Amino acid sequence: MMELKDVYEDLTTICKDWFKHMFFSVTFVKKNGEVRKMLCKLDCKIWDGKPTTNGGSLNWNPTERGYLHVIDCVIGEWRFVNFQTIQKIRFGKKDYHFNNFNHFLHFMMVIDNLHKLDELRDEGELEEFNPTTFKSVMGKNVDDDSDDFDDKHYTTNYVEGKIIGDC
């Protein structure tokens, strides 16, 4: 079982891969219970300040405690977003709403897997779906016209003969 700090580190990495250096907005609940909506970036090249909220250096690791370290693009200061209280993310002209932390966590895992598939496709390691090849990988005879194999049900891609997912 993963420790929670490892989950937070993975979430931070996924966010960095997904948002890159682009703007996104996030709605979350602050420590005092107030709901905050913030336009932010993960890294801002024009910001020369230190990545802290009080001007000094941090003596703790925000990621290990479940915070995403961002810059508030409206006021130009560093802020922390609590992963546990994220309610909504707006990115790429789309809104993503979350009921709770588990919902957010599962969504981010899907985003991570989609990025990995994109990388495989870009590197030429992911072949396009071929029903004939898929049937042979699944142990079905290609010429078998029996109705027990539904072509429409499977939309799986494979890498080097290994099944990597199905619908």
Residues 117 and 148 reside in one and the same domain: no
Q: At what angle do helices 4-19 and 101-122 cross, to 10 degrees?
A: 50
- Neighbouring C-beta atoms of residue 104, cutoff 10 Å: 22
Residues 108 and 28 reside in one and the same domain: yes
Are residues 22 and 45 in contact, defined by beta-carbon separation less than 8 angstroms? no
Task: Tell me how many degrees the CA angle 159-165-68 measures, rounded to the nearest 5.
Answer: 100
pLDDT of residue 30: 95
User: Tell me: the pLDDT tens digits for 11-41?
Assistant: 999 998 899 889 999 999 999 999 999 999 9
* Type and span of the H or E element at 17: helix 4-19
pLDDT of residue 128: 66
Residues 135 and 73 reside in one and the same domain: no
Strand residues in 13-164 grouped as ranges (E): 24-29, 35-41, 67-72, 77-82, 86-91, 94-97, 158-159, 162-163
Residues 15 and 92 reside in one and the same domain: yes
Residues 117 and 40 reside in one and the same domain: yes
Q: Which domain holds residue 162?
A: 127-167
Three-state SS string over 29-41 comes to: ECCCCCEEEEEEE
Residues 158 and 113 reside in one and the same domain: no
pLDDT of residue 15: 92
- Neighbouring C-beta atoms of residue 19, cutoff 10 Å: 20
- Neighbouring C-beta atoms of residue 141, cutoff 10 Å: 10
- What total of structural domains would you count in the chain? 2
Global pTM value: 0.67
Residues 45 and 93 reside in one and the same domain: yes
Residues 107 and 166 reside in one and the same domain: no
Residues 117 and 157 reside in one and the same domain: no
Residues 77 and 102 reside in one and the same domain: yes
- Burial class of residue 28 in the structure, from the number of CB atoms within 10 Å of its CB (0-12 exposed, 13-18 middle, 19+ buried): buried
Residues 99 and 163 reside in one and the same domain: no
- What confidence category does residue 154 fall into, taking pLDDT thresholds of 50, 70 and 90? very low
